[in-house]
Amino acid sequence: MNAPLRLGTRASALATTQSGHVAEMIRERLGREVELVEVSTEGDRSAAPLASLGGTGVFVSALRDALLDGRVDVAVHSLKDIPTTPAEGIALAAVPTREDPRDVVVARDGLTLGELPVGSRLGTGSPRRVSQLAALGLGLELQGIRGNVDTRIRKVREGEVDAIVLARAGLSRLGRLDEVTEVLDPIQMLPAPGQGALAIECRSDDAELVAALAQLDDTATRAAVTAERAVLAALEAGCSAPLGALAEVVEGDDGEELWLRAVALSEDGALSVRMSATGPVADAAALGHRLASDMLDEGAADLMTTSLEQGPPVRKQHA
């Protein structure tokens, strides 16, 4: 009989819940027993802004180290936290069916974004959300905020902030959608590349486990996040601007195709390059790279350095 698979997870309530879902999938679909192994990461231990710690990869490296040194057999991450550069010795074995990738508002008194009075304090630690919120021109006071889901919602309940913006997927997995006061349309707020999706990793030299975990992969989700992350990877090389991206498998004239939208913004949201493209589901990575190249051609790389004193904001939008 096979020994239980040791599944590495961060210790937060959301991480252990997500890992628990994957553990159940492995038990039910692969017939393997699973035990969760909590791994502490730098991102969990520090209260500093993520950017100062090196970005979202701080949540991933400790779990990957645990994989490579044999402490765990499988690791589960929020896919948006994974760096776009491949990690030696690590296989992204499966991307299960994605949760709703949209952002949501949790506000006092059941308010929506548009109902918050001018000057209301909105908490978010995400440059992507800050830029897109600023672009909406609602006159909100945007404040940096970190902490787990419970900590952030408590800041609203205790009046420290009037509202926060979170990923809907996390609240759904925690069974806390009743806290949501508004679900944001992607036209207002494009999510982070890969948001709502989980990544299941294992050692690349464990061919049997790689093949087994591949049964948990969802083709449509894999294509969508591949396109989104290709945009991110291409823009990271020449553009440090806040970025949102969302791809969806839709019915086209000749069958299923991938529809990809992305936006890069200046920090204050006054300038943006917003574009979209469609292509075959099988060419997800190429579609993402093509869209990113078009965005760079339209000035995406200049967004972080452009001075607003040079002239009025110009918003470049393409259907």
Residues in the chain, overall count: 319
Q: What is the pLDDT of residue 309?
A: 36
Per-residue pLDDT of the chain (319 residues; tens, 9 = 90+): 578 999 999 999 999 999 999 999 999 999 999 999 999 866 554 455 444 444 556 679 999 999 999 999 999 999 999 999 889 999 999 999 999 999 999 999 999 999 999 999 999 989 999 999 999 999 999 999 988 899 999 999 999 999 999 999 999 999 999 999 999 999 999 999 999 999 999 999 999 999 999 999 999 999 999 999 999 999 886 666 799 999 999 998 888 999 999 999 998 999 999 999 999 999 999 999 999 999 999 999 888 654 333 333 334 444 3
Q: What is the pLDDT of residue 263?
A: 96
Rounded CA-CA distance 141/120 in Å is: 6
Closest C-alpha to 44, from 77, 88, 87: 77
Token pair of 128 as six digits = 């992507």
The alpha carbon of residue 105 and the mean position of all alpha carbons in its chain are separated, in whole angstroms, by: 16
Q: What is the pLDDT of residue 142?
A: 95
Rounded CA-CA distance 262/189 in Å is: 10
Residues acting as catalytic residues = 81
Q: Would you report the helix, strand and coil content of the chain in percent, each value rounded to 5?
A: 40, 25, 35
